[in-house]
Every structure is written in structure tokens, then in C-alpha cells.
């Protein structure tokens, strides 16, 4: 299993911890992932690094500092409030892995600077501090097919995220080249008490250097629900890069 089997499928908000970043060996490793996903009024982006401390041939402790930027609109009783929330987080997690399965789980602490601006009106800002938890599971169904699931929750702004996906190599099916292309599909559910979003789409990924680096592009459609029971439908785009040192 390559290091990034599910990395770019994971959401880069808030705690960023364990949102689909996987290691395939028990050696010390450093990795960086950066990405963005969304549209004009709702989205998130971020950068995180991971440091692995081996416990055994099949387990490790993961240290993960991260920074992220979440933004979304809240529509209620004829008003629209634009929320922006840059954040810093640090997580510590446990990782188990073998030739086909990788499982991560762990907590994190997050500091979030939230600003709310009513369209045409006043704005407020505050600093929020809270705990979070994330978990992910990756299964190599065949040497060229990966199934994955990731979920996370931030207590600071009560934001949850979950994602399920599948990726299939369409080149280098004999596993002999240092690079390959994969296509896939994903389903996403995320949000909090102010805005909830369900999305579905596809992805294209190019891997380099035996999977030590990857670039991924994603696109799909999102359905939004708000506290005043209004609904919106919009397409979304996403992009991400990954590198393991």
C-alpha cells in the first residue's frame, strides 16, 4: 500500500488529524499535504505535516500539526451570514497498518479564529478553543483498487466531516512503473448546526516516485441545507498535493 492511498481524499479542515493520511511502513517518516475544496460561498483548505514514531512493525504514533481555513454561508430568516474560520491544530494519533489495511484514530486540540459578517450589516469575531477527534480506514481490495473512509469532529465549532471513496488505477496495472494514474468517486457529508452539506463527485490522481508524491483534482455536486429550511445546489472543485520525505 502506498503512503498516500487515501491522503488527498481526506478533508483538510480543523484538526486535519487522521483525515486519510496513511503510512505503509513502520519506519520514521515525514509527510506534507496541502489542498482546497469548495465553491464561492462554502469551502475549506489547509496544510498539515505528519511525523511518525514507530511502535512496532505494524503500528506507530502520529504527530500532526496543521493549519486550515474554513468558510461557509449561513442562511436564516432572510439573512445571510458569512463565516470565516482560520485555525491551528495539533494532534496525536495511533496508526495500525499491514499489507491491505490501515487504521488511524486520535484526538487533537484546535484554536480557531471565527469571524461572522451579516451581509449588509455588522461583523463579530471570537477565538474558540476545543478538542477534536478523527479516524480513518483504508482497505486495499486489490493491488490496484483502494476503498477508504474518513471522519472527524471539531468541538470548537461543532463541525463534522465524513467521506467515503474508491480509487482505481487505470495505468501501470502490473505495478512495474514509478508513476501511475488513478480515477475514483467519493461521497461526502459535512457541516454543523448552521449549515449542512452532502456532496458526491469524482477524482483524478497522478502519483509519482513510487507513490511518494501525488497530485489530485476533484469535482462534483453539493446539496446544502440551512436552519430556515432553505436549500441550495452547487458544483464544487478540489485540488491537493502530497509529498513524503
Q: Distance between CA atoms of 70 and 34, rounded to whole angstroms?
A: 14
Asked if residues 85 and 113 have their Cβ atoms less than 8 Å apart, the reply is yes
Q: Distance between CA atoms of 169 and 123, rounded to whole angstroms?
A: 47
Quick one: what percent of the chain has pLDDT higher than 90? 77
38-80 pLDDT tens trace: 999 999 999 999 899 999 999 999 999 999 999 999 998 878 9
Q: Distance between CA atoms of 147 and 47, rounded to whole angstroms?
A: 24
In SS3 terms, 123-142 reads as: EEEEEEEEEEEEEEEEEEEE
107-147 pLDDT tens trace: 999 999 999 999 888 999 999 999 999 999 999 999 999 99
Q: Which residues contact 229 (CB under 8 A, 6 or more apart)?
A: none
Q: Which residues contact 88 (CB under 8 A, 6 or more apart)?
A: 65, 66, 67, 110, 111
Q: Distance between CA atoms of 205 and 168, rounded to whole angstroms?
A: 10
How does residue 244 score in pLDDT terms, banded at 50, 70 and 90?
confident
pLDDT of the residue at 23 = 35
pLDDT of the residue at 167 = 95
160-219 pLDDT tens trace: 999 999 999 999 999 999 999 999 999 999 999 999 999 999 999 999 998 889 999 999
Is the per-residue pLDDT at 6 higher than 70? no
Residue 177's CB is within 10 A of a number of other CB atoms, namely 11
How does residue 1 score in pLDDT terms, banded at 50, 70 and 90?
very low
Asked if residues 218 and 238 have their Cβ atoms less than 8 Å apart, the reply is yes
Cell numbers 496544510 correspond to: 47
Fill in the DSSP letter of residue 226: -
Q: Which residues contact 123 (CB under 8 A, 6 or more apart)?
A: 115, 116, 117
Quick one: what percent of the chain has pLDDT higher than 70? 88
Domains of the chain: 7-244 (2.40.128.130)
pLDDT of the residue at 238 = 94
Asked if residues 191 and 222 have their Cβ atoms less than 8 Å apart, the reply is no
| Sign of the Cα pseudo-torsion (66, 152, 42, 124, in order) | negative
Amino acid at each position: 500500500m502506498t503512503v498516500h492511498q487515501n491522503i488527498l481524499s481526506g478533508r483538510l479542515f480543523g484538526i486535519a488529524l487522521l483525515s486519510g493520511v496513511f503510512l505503509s511502513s513502520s519506519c520514521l517518516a515525514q509527510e506534507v499535504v496541502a489542498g482546497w475544496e469548495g465553491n464561492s460561498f462554502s469551502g475549506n483548505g489547509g496544510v498539515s505535516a505528519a511525523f511518525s514514531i514507530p511502535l512496532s512493525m505494524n503500528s506507530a504514533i502520529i504527530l500532526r500539526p496543521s493549519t486550515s481555513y474554513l468558510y461557509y454561508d449561513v442562511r436564516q430568516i432572510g439573512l445571510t451570514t458569512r463565516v470565516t474560520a482560520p485555525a491551528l491544530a495539533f494532534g496525536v494519533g495511533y496508526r495500525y497498518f499491514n499489507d491491505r489495511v490501515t487504521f488511524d484514530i486520535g484526538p487533537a486540540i484546535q484554536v480557531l479564529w471565527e469571524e461572522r459578517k451579516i451581509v449588509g450589516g455588522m461583523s463579530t469575531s471570537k477565538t474558540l478553543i476545543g478538542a477534536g477527534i478523527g479516524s480513518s480506514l483504508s482497505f486495499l481490495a486489490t493491488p490496484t483498487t483502494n476503498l477508504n473512509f474518513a471522519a472527524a469532529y471539531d468541538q470548537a465549532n461543532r463541525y463534522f466531516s465524513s467521506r467515503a471513496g474508491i480509487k482505481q488505477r487505470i495505468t501501470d496495472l502490473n505495478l512495474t512503473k514509478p508513476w501511475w494514474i488513478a480515477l475514483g468517486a467519493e461521497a461526502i457529508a459535512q457541516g454543523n448546526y448552521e449549515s449542512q452539506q452532502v456532496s458526491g463527485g469524482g477524482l483524478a490522481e497522478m502519483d509519482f516516485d513510487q507513490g511518494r508524491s501525488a497530485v489530485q483534482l476533484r469535482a462534483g455536486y453539493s446539496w446544502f441545507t440551512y436552519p430556515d429550511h432553505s436549500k441550495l445546489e452547487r458544483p464544487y472543485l478540489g485540488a491537493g498535493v502530497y509529498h513524503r520525505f
